[in-house]
Amino acid sequence: MFREVTLVDGTGAPPRPADVLVSGDRIASISAPSARTRVAAARIIPGEGRVLAPGFIDTHTHGDPMSDSFDAFLAMGVTTITLGVDGGGPRIKGDLDLRGWMRAADRAPLDLNVVALASHGTLRRAANIPDSVRRPDAAALARLEAQLDAELRAGAFGLTYGLEYVPGIYSQTPELTALGRVVARHDGVVMSHMRSENDDEIETSIDELIASAGPARPHISHLKVVFGKGEARARALLDDLAAKRRAGIDLTADAYPYNAGFTGIAILFPQWALPPTDYATILATRRAELRDYLEKRMIRRGGPEMLLLGTGKHAGKTVAQAAQEAGLAFPDFLIQLGPNGGSGAHFTMDQALQDVLLLDPMVAISTDGGPGMRHPRATGTYAKLIEDYVVKSKRIPIEEAVRKATSFPARILRLTDRGTIRVGAKADLILFDPAKVRARSTYLDPFARAQGFDLVMVGGQAAFETGQRVARAGRLLRATRPG
């Protein structure tokens, strides 16, 4: 039993004092605090005025909890993650079918709860569609739809696209629209890494998502405006999204509180140099053209100082630094790395703009992170939300910050038994003092864990306490369909 907590229940309602009783994996009762109330409980946890909130639900996560440790996520209050994002996700080696991975996850001890999504790129490969194919024929499209239908029937919550990556980059609207109709039949969500997140293309990319999702619910992954500047630009984009919602489109988004993305350096390369094109042939026949393209592309993105490499032997160095150490001009260094040469933090966003997007009521909080990622979002997102936006700047009240990280993502995913503290709901809970929450990680020290979340409970069981994981209490969640 939690005694004398400050209850922030996830709905957006103001904080209130309460006692909360957990029985098994569910919340049994919520009452006003009373020192005279006597309850037979295995454990009494004194709240001492600390906030008790639902566990945070991350709508965009990388990694595989059957092989990776998600302790750093527990340390910042996350109790549920969403996998299969950007068109790709965890699979059993040699098996492209999500159902095989889900069966294995059912049997595995998991650090936290997992929501699985079908992944467009993996579906394509499972349907034996070559990456370079722009328009699958009728037979290939039928295989693709059948595979998606099977994964949704097995409990996947929706579908994701990675339209800036191979093979999503090659797909066209008829293919995506056909898949959107399948998702709609299952009341699923269609999440997408946009075709482009650039300032001059983001609205067009969002329109493509809406059109391709069709009757299914469209969701914008890690909402941002690359190269955009200022609060006015953010408000203009949010006004456009609000107009779409007034027109009847159930459009949502998520975002993280950092001004750098983290992705593969392949996004610097032209489509004609990406797999399955033979890169050696490109170097032999179009090297000068490629060099010119990379130079202009990198300069437009702020120059080689604005890309901090996060993988391989150059991790922790900017492209400018790594190129200098290699004795190369930065375009030649990028050519040497090649499109599969690693990932890094791309500093292409304006913080003032991103803050307006982040704090919009229709934008959920996500990490877009995973274990081992050299980006502070993978270890600090939710702590930074509390520390910077609630406590320091007071730009958002605690109840709204919690809502954006709990009940709102639960609504997006259709998680009906999580995201709020109410009688009968699953007991995914976090206990913390907002004034003591710290996001300790930085771009140069990305693995420092968050501090200040004293107890993280998953399914009624203490999973993280006194700064360490104490149990693997998570499980794979499966979507329940109408009827």
What is the per-residue pLDDT for 214? 86
DSSP-assigned letter for residue 61 = B
Q: Are the CB atoms for 164 and 130 separated by under 8 Å?
A: no
Residues shown for the chain: 483
Q: How far apart are CA 251 and CA 144, in angstroms?
A: 25
Report pLDDT digits (tens) over 211-257: 999 899 999 999 999 999 999 999 999 999 999 999 999 999 999 99
pLDDT band of 34, cuts 50, 70, 90: confident
Q: Is the pLDDT of residue 119 over 60?
A: yes
Mean of pLDDT values over 64-73:
97
Q: Which two tokens stand for residue 215?
A: 């009757």
Which uninterrupted H or E stretch holds 294? Answer: helix 279-300
Please say if the pLDDT value at position 35 is more than 60. Answer: no
Using the structure block, give the residue that is written with the tokens 């709901």. 425
The full set of domains in the chain, from first to last, is 55-261+358-400+412-418 (3.20.20.140), 263-347 (no CATH)
Asked if residues 335 and 294 have their Cβ atoms less than 8 Å apart, the reply is yes
Q: pLDDT digits over 271-323, tens only?
A: 999 999 999 999 999 999 999 999 999 999 999 999 999 999 999 999 999 99
Nearest to 222 by CA among 171, 189, 188, 258: 258
Closest Cα partner for 189 from 162, 225, 214? 214
Pairing label, strands 45-46, 2-7: parallel
Q: Which of 383, 456, 465 is nearest to 76 (CA)?
A: 383
Question: pLDDT tens, 156-187?
Answer: 999 999 999 999 999 999 999 999 999 999 99
pTM for the model stands at 0.95
Q: Would the pLDDT of 46 be above 90? A: yes
pLDDT attached to residue 37: 56
Contacts of 57 (CB under 8 A, 6+ apart): 78, 79, 80, 82, 405, 406, 409, 410, 413, 415, 418, 419
Mean pLDDT within 394-399: 98
Q: What are phi and psi of 430, to 5 degrees?
A: -135, 140
- Tell me the pLDDT band of 40, cut-offs 50, 70 and 90: low
In this structure, what token pair is assigned to residue 300? 């437009």
Average pLDDT of every residue of the chain? 96
pLDDT for 36:
59
Structure confidence at residue 480 as a pLDDT band (50, 70, 90) = confident
In 3D space, the residue among 408, 419, 454, 457 whose CA is nearest the CA of residue 435 turns out to be 454
Please return the burial class of 107, using the count of CB atoms within 10 Å of its CB with bins 0-12, 13-18 and 19+.
exposed
CB burial of residue 222 (10 Å; 0-12, 13-18, 19+): buried
